[in-house]
Structure 1
Amino acid sequence: MVKVLVLGATGYIGFPLCQSLRRDGHMVYGLARSADKARGLARHEIRTVVGTVEGGEYLDIVRKANIDIVVDASSANQGSYHVLEGLKAVSQQRLKTRGRHGPKLGFIYLGGSWVHGSSTAPVNDLSPVAVANDAGCPTQPPELVAWRPALEGAILDAREVLESVVVRPALLYGGSSSLWSLWSLWLSPIAKAASEGSSSGVHILADAAAQPGLIHVDDVVSAIHLTVGKFGSVSTASGNYPVFDIVSSSEPLKLILDAAAPTLRLEGSLTYDGPGDNAFAVAMNTTMRGSSTRARDLLGWAPKHTSMAEGIEAYVDAWNAHQ
Structure 2
Amino acid sequence: MSSNVLVFGANGYIGYGIASGLRRSGFHVYGVIRNVDAIADQLGKCSIIVDAVGFTKSLSEIILKAVVSAGKQRTQDGKLAHYAPLFIFTSGIMTYGDTSVYGLRPLDETIKPNPQTMEMKAREEHENLVLATSSSIVHTTVIRPGFVYGSHGGFVADLFYSEKPAVIHGRRDKRWSWIHIDDLAEGYVLVARASRSLVSGQIWNLAAPNDNPTYEEVRSNMARVSGQQIEYKEASSSDRTPPRWDTDSIINPSKAIEQLGWRPKHVGYIQEIETYYKSWAAYKQQQ
Q: TM-score range by the shorter chain?
A: 0.7 to 0.9
Query: Are 2:26 and 1:62 equivalent residues in the alignment?
Result: no
Q: Given the superposition, is the C-alpha separation of residues 145 and 56 from structure 1 closer, same or farther in structure 2, using an over 3 Å criterion?
A: farther
**1:144 & 1:162 partners in 2: Cα distance?**
26
Q: Which residue of 2 aligns with 1:46?
A: none
Query: Are 2:180 and 1:232 equivalent residues in the alignment?
Result: no
For 1:207, what is the secondary structure of its paired residue?
A: coil
Counterparts of 1:163-312 in structure 2 under 5 Å? Answer: 163-176=139-152, 180-190=154-164, 193=165, 203-205=167-169, 207-236=171-200, 242-248=202-208, 249-266=211-228, 268-278=229-239, 281-312=242-273
**2:25 & 2:253 partners in 1: Cα distance?**
24
| One-letter amino acid matched to 1:124 | D
Offset at residue 70 of structure 1 (A): 0.5
TM-score (norm 2): 0.86
For 1:243, what is the secondary structure of its paired residue?
A: strand
Query: Are 2:78 and 1:103 equivalent residues in the alignment?
Result: no
**Deviation readout 1:134-164 (Å, 9 max, x if unpaired):** xxxxx33444322111111111111223201
Query: Are 2:137 and 1:154 equivalent residues in the alignment?
Result: no
**1:111 & 1:145 partners in 2: Cα distance?**
10
Query: Are 2:108 and 1:124 equivalent residues in the alignment?
Result: yes
Q: Which residue of 2 aligns with 1:38?
A: none
**1:231 & 1:270 partners in 2: Cα distance?**
50
**Deviation readout 1:56-78 (Å, 9 max, x if unpaired):** 32222112xx2101011112521
**2:11 & 2:253 partners in 1: Cα distance?**
27
Structure with the largest fraction of helix: 2
Contact 1:115 1:149 in 2 (8 A): yes
**1:286 & 1:77 partners in 2: Cα distance?**
23
Contact 2:206 2:253 in 1 (8 A): yes
| One-letter amino acid matched to 2:248 | T
**1:258 & 1:279 partners in 2: Cα distance?**
18
**1:269 & 1:314 partners in 2: Cα distance?**
20
**1:62 & 1:140 partners in 2: Cα distance?**
32
Offset at residue 280 of structure 1 (A): 5.5
Offset at residue 90 of structure 1 (A): 1.9
Contact 2:175 2:212 in 1 (8 A): yes
Offset at residue 226 of structure 1 (A): 1.2
How many aligned residue pairs are there? 275
**2:81 & 2:225 partners in 1: Cα distance?**
58
Offset at residue 313 of structure 1 (A): 1.7
**Deviation readout 1:271-304 (Å, 9 max, x if unpaired):** 2332535586123444112100000011111112
| One-letter amino acid matched to 2:25 | D
**1:279 & 1:159 partners in 2: Cα distance?**
38
**1:293 & 1:203 partners in 2: Cα distance?**
33
**2:167 & 2:131 partners in 1: Cα distance?**
42
| One-letter amino acid matched to 1:229 | R
Question: Larger C-alpha radius of gyration, 1 or 2?
Answer: 1
Counterpart selection for 2:61 from 63, 78, 81: 81
Contact 1:71 1:107 in 2 (8 A): yes
**2:85 & 2:168 partners in 1: Cα distance?**
45
Q: Given the superposition, is the C-alpha separation of residues 147 and 254 from structure 1 closer, same or farther in structure 2, using an over 3 Å criterion?
A: same
Q: Which residue of 1 aligns with 2:4?
A: 3
The RMSD of aligned alpha carbons is 2.3
**1:105 & 1:144 partners in 2: Cα distance?**
28
Query: Are 2:275 and 1:314 equivalent residues in the alignment?
Result: yes
Unaligned 5+ segments in structure 1 are 33-51, 130-138, 194-201
TM-score (norm 1): 0.77
Counterparts of 1:45-56 in structure 2 under 5 Å? Answer: 52-53=34-35, 55-56=36-37
Offset at residue 181 of structure 1 (A): 2.9
